Amino acid sequence: GFKMGIVGLPNVGKSTLFNALTRTAAAQAANFPFCTIEPNVGDVAVPDRRLETLAAIAGSRQIIPTRMTFVDIAGLVKGASKGEGLGNQFLANIREVDAIAHVLRCFEDDDVTHVDGRVDPVADAETIETELMLADIESIEKRLQGLTRKVRGGDKDAIQQERLLKAALSVLEEGRPARSVPVDAEDAKAWKMLQLLTTKPILYVCNVDESAAATGNALSEKVAAMAAAQGAASVVISAAIEEEISQLDADEAAVFLEDLSLDEPGLDRLIKAGYDLLHLETYFTVGPKEARAWTIRQGTLAPQAAGVIHGDFERGFIRAETISYDDYVALKGEAGAKDAGKMRVEGKAYTVKDGDVLHFLFNA
């Protein structure tokens, strides 16, 4: 599965957001820096209304959404890259995630302490980015030393790694994140394996007050401008509202959202933004037993898409019977689509498309 790490300075609303996402009290929110000491991990259903539509047509007894993992990563502070505070734990956890959801405090509240004594989300973003860059520099320097002997021995992988690490180091030393290094297709895999912190895609999460949940505010606009300049994504959310919504049933939540002029919970937008950021898409398997959504990267071929369900499906892949979501709905299901000639038989070279309803045939 895909993992998003929730990061941010202490007291910006990470735990509140994580609680809302996972509907548990496991990550305790409190007005106290370092509240979230253990990394908390939660699997979150990816909201997708298409799944209910498909299940209704097929009469599926069960609906199983696809999931995304969120990790609430302990508060980062200035100096974290030097191992102060909870830094080391933070850095170890953040290496493992596919993308970073960076929560920024965009609300004013004198009762909630800001670690740096002022509310300035753009400065906060820079504080964290700086720590991540320093951490990358330190780890690159260590790794370069470790590679010296192999490089001298002519080890091809080591030579490639050294070249990439040096390219990263030179931009980092100019104060830019490693993601600003242009990487060739043939280096892409090795580059990713370096797991540098400042190569992870970033989604800025502007945590605003209740009153600004629908519109955003001046602070979240500054963040949006910064995100656009970096090619990063941003969403506006009110963690406090989301936490309230997460405790309501569906009908109550709908009324509450309408009162706030919101179309959908901010969490839904957050999860979708994470999905987009990671270039993910969804395909479906639909039958009387269950209607189920599966996550793949955009551009995934049919056998690898099948492999998300089970390794055997990929190894023994023969073909995929494929109906687009729109055809499935318009023709009221598999039989109708088949009769209309809209069920395609696709082979190993087929690139799965978002919304495809797939049935895999494979050698067991």
- Binding ligand GDP (rule: CB under 6 A), the pick from 2, 11, 76, 124 is 11
Q: Which of 258, 260, 298 is nearest to 277 (CA)?
A: 298
β-pairing, 290-297 vs 62-64, is parallel
Using CB under 6 A as the binding rule, the residues of this chain from 309 to 328 that contact ligand GDP are none
- The answer to whether 238 contacts ligand GDP (rule: CB under 6 A) is yes
Helices (H), 111-238: 121-152, 156-173, 188-193, 218-230
State which of residues 239, 245, 337, 357 lies at the interface with ligand GDP (CB under 6 A): 239
- The CA distance from 227 to 201, in Å, is 11
User: For residue 304, what are the β-bridge partners?
Assistant: none
How near is the Cβ of 240 to ligand GDP at its closest, in Å? 4
- Label residue 203 exposed, middle or buried (CB < 10 Å: 0-12, 13-18, 19+): buried
Closest distance to ligand GDP from the beta carbon of 10 (Å): 4
**The tokens 């037993």 sit on which residue?**
289
Q: Does 107 bind ligand GDP (CB under 6 A)?
A: yes
Sheet hosting strand 3-7, strand order edge to edge: 40-45, 67-72, 3-7, 99-105, 202-207, 233-237
AA letter at 249:
D
The partner residues of 72 in beta bridges, in order of sequence, read 6, 40
What is the Cα 224 distance to its own chain's centre? Answer: 18
User: What string marks each residue from 160 to 199 as x (binds ligand GDP by CB under 6 A) or -?
Assistant: ----------------------------------------
Candidates 47-55, 138-146, 224-232, 233-241; binding stretch for ligand GDP (CB under 6 A)? 233-241
**Is residue 71 involved in binding ligand GDP (CB under 6 A)?**
no
Q: 2, 4, 5, 15: which one contacts ligand GDP (CB under 6 A)?
A: 15
Q: Which stretch binds ligand GDP (CB under 6 A): 77-85, 164-172, 192-200, 236-244?
A: 236-244
Question: Annotated binding residues for ATP, as ranges?
Answer: 11-16
Question: Which residues of this chain interact with ligand GDP, rule CB under 6 A?
Answer: 8, 10-16, 29-31, 35-36, 75, 107, 109, 112, 207, 209, 238-240
